[in-house]
Structure 1
């Protein structure tokens, strides 16, 4: 066996074992044939020193994700993971859409367009750039709202294209800020990484996956706005100095509440649907905990460092307290999907 074949076999380990057992020989033969140049010296060199190209590795990785995040007709474990990723992605994009909608309301309030609310304090007044391109750049984050609607309605490629508009400007702005004299903080970059992960995770919605139930997910948008941004918005409008939570803390509160509702609402059932939801909530809890722990470092230079760090630790404990039982139930349900 040549070194080139050994390297390609290591790449193929990304694929599920059952798939490799059936197709590995054919894939290796096709790959080696594609590397054959017809020149004995070149072929001998490639056999010893050649490596699978990045495009080939990306192709195998894409196939592995497709197989492990299965759609209709996939084996139960792959289908459960696929549904879990799709549900977690929907919830993540929904959260961004809710925040985008709330952001539009805040912008209108700061511009004095919501007359029935008290005028915002001077320190909360929004000043948009005068140039039209700068204004568009500033408002790009609101693209998460149409991206969510497109995803729910089954237009995955449109959703990704629109979400890209929301992702790119903040990333570029963050890079420019990091290159300047502004102090580096973790929270903005954690948000950017989360957005990029959501953008990539939309690829799990394919033609062979179940259609998103439109009515409940469309209804979830106004319900989410009423349950989260509206109370915070009113509190901020009436008490401008009030700072309830930073965004990682808010994420902890929302995820902990959702996990508690899931536990109380029948998570112990080991139906395929319940297992997928438990896995999805476990993914969200893990991402939320990692983000909250990573962003605690931003408190180090603040006056209320000890208080804020304590609050952050309580948020971590709250998510873990309900997240661990959900993860245990998900693992048990996943084991039950193993073929006998």
Structure 2
């Protein structure tokens, strides 16, 4: 076996074992044939020192995503994981869209544009941006709203491109600030990492995935605004103590509440199609718990670090208390599903 073949087979390990057992040799033979230049010396050199191209690796990665996060024609276990990844991505995108949409209304209120609402307290006054570039930079976060709508409507690549506009500016801003006089902080980088993972997770909406039910997910946007950010902002504005709850803490509370509701529905109705939701909420619980744990490091320099650390610990414990039983239930149900298809699909070029 040549070094080139070894390297290619190493990349093929990204594919499911059952798929490799069926198609690996054929894929290797086709790849080696494509690397044959017709010149014996050049071919010998490529065989010893060549590597799969980035486009070839990207093609295999895309195929692995489609197989492991399968669509309707995938094995039940792959389909369950695929639906879980898609549901988790939609819920996270919905959260971003809800919060940025509500923040538009809050910004208008704080700037005095909504005359029929009572005037905000002085400590809530907005600080005007220094220039038009700062304004444009701040508006980049609102890109999550059109990205969510594009994803629901089935335009995954558009959604990824638009969401990238919401990820890059905060990353640059954080890097510039922390390269200057701003103290090093874990929180912005942890939240950016979650956003990058969310951006990559949109790959689960490949062409083989079932379409997103548009009506419920579009209706979830206005309903979510009325149920979450509006009451939350009102409570925080009138109860100063609740201002200590940061974004990771709010995420913990939201995910915990969602898991409790899901477990209640699962036990009461015993619906057979709840496994993808169980897995999706488990994925969100893991991400939320990781975010909460990472951001604890920033509390050491806070004046109320003991109180903040206690609140954060309670939030993490709540996620674990509900998330662990849900994960156990989901994994047990997942193991009962077959993981190998009756007939492995032929390799296809990713689109």
What TM-score, normalized to structure 2? 0.91
Measured after TM superposition, the shift of residue 172 of structure 1 is 1.5
Q: Judging changes above 3 Å, is the alpha-carbon distance between structure 1 residues 145 and 77 closer, same or farther for their aligned structure 2 residues? A: same
Give the aligned partner of residue 226 of structure 1. Answer: 226
- The size of the alignment, in residue pairs, is 339
Give the aligned partner of residue 287 of structure 2. Answer: 287
* CA distance in structure 1 between the aligned counterparts of 2:335 and 2:239, rounded to whole angstroms: 50
8 Å contact kept, 1:14–1:60: yes
Deviates more, 1:73-82 or 1:30-39: 30-39
CA-based RMSD of the aligned residues comes to 1.9
Q: Does 1:252 align with 2:252?
A: yes
After superposition, give the CA deviation of every residue in 1:107-163 in whole Å (9 maximum; x if it has no partner). 112101233444333343223325333312211111211221222222222222222
Give the aligned partner of residue 76 of structure 1. Answer: 76
Measured after TM superposition, the shift of residue 40 of structure 1 is 2.5
Q: Does 1:33 align with 2:38?
A: no
Give the aligned partner of residue 327 of structure 1. Answer: 327
Matches of residues 263-282 of structure 1 in structure 2 within 5 Å? 263-266=263-266, 269=270, 271=272, 273-282=273-282
* CA distance in structure 2 between the aligned counterparts of 1:269 and 1:339, rounded to whole angstroms: 23
Deviates more, 1:283-292 or 1:10-19: 10-19
Give the aligned partner of residue 124 of structure 1. Answer: 124
* CA distance in structure 2 between the aligned counterparts of 1:60 and 1:37, rounded to whole angstroms: 22
Measured after TM superposition, the shift of residue 55 of structure 1 is 2.5
Q: Does 1:94 align with 2:94?
A: yes
SS at 1:41 equivalent:
helix
* CA distance in structure 2 between the aligned counterparts of 1:242 and 1:205, rounded to whole angstroms: 37
Measured after TM superposition, the shift of residue 193 of structure 1 is 1.5
Stretches of structure 1 that go unaligned for 5 or more consecutive residues are none
8 Å contact kept, 1:88–1:280: yes
Q: Does 1:178 align with 2:178?
A: yes
After superposition, give the CA deviation of every residue in 1:278-322 in whole Å (9 maximum; x if it has no partner). 110110000000000000001010111111111111111100111
Give the aligned partner of residue 2 of structure 2. Answer: 2
Deviates more, 1:286-295 or 1:159-168: 159-168
* CA distance in structure 2 between the aligned counterparts of 1:238 and 1:311, rounded to whole angstroms: 19
8 Å contact kept, 1:118–1:237: no
Q: Judging changes above 3 Å, is the alpha-carbon distance between structure 1 residues 270 and 40 closer, same or farther for their aligned structure 2 residues? A: farther
8 Å contact kept, 1:14–1:64: yes
Deviates more, 1:43-52 or 1:80-89: 43-52
Higher relative contact order (CA 8 A, sep 6+): 2
8 Å contact kept, 1:117–1:237: no
What TM-score, normalized to structure 1? 0.93
Q: Judging changes above 3 Å, is the alpha-carbon distance between structure 1 residues 22 and 242 closer, same or farther for their aligned structure 2 residues? A: closer
Stretches of structure 2 that go unaligned for 5 or more consecutive residues are 341-351
Measured after TM superposition, the shift of residue 60 of structure 1 is 1.1
* CA distance in structure 1 between the aligned counterparts of 2:276 and 2:63, rounded to whole angstroms: 21
Give the aligned partner of residue 63 of structure 1. Answer: 63
8 Å contact kept, 1:96–1:145: yes
Matches of residues 143-158 of structure 1 in structure 2 within 5 Å? 143-158=143-158
* CA distance in structure 1 between the aligned counterparts of 2:2 and 2:271, rounded to whole angstroms: 47
After superposition, give the CA deviation of every residue in 1:147-201 in whole Å (9 maximum; x if it has no partner). 2122222222222222222222112211211221111211111221122222221
8 Å contact kept, 1:160–1:202: yes
After superposition, give the CA deviation of every residue in 1:217-273 in whole Å (9 maximum; x if it has no partner). 1222122222221122112333567514100000000000000001001169472x3
8 Å contact kept, 2:11–2:60: yes
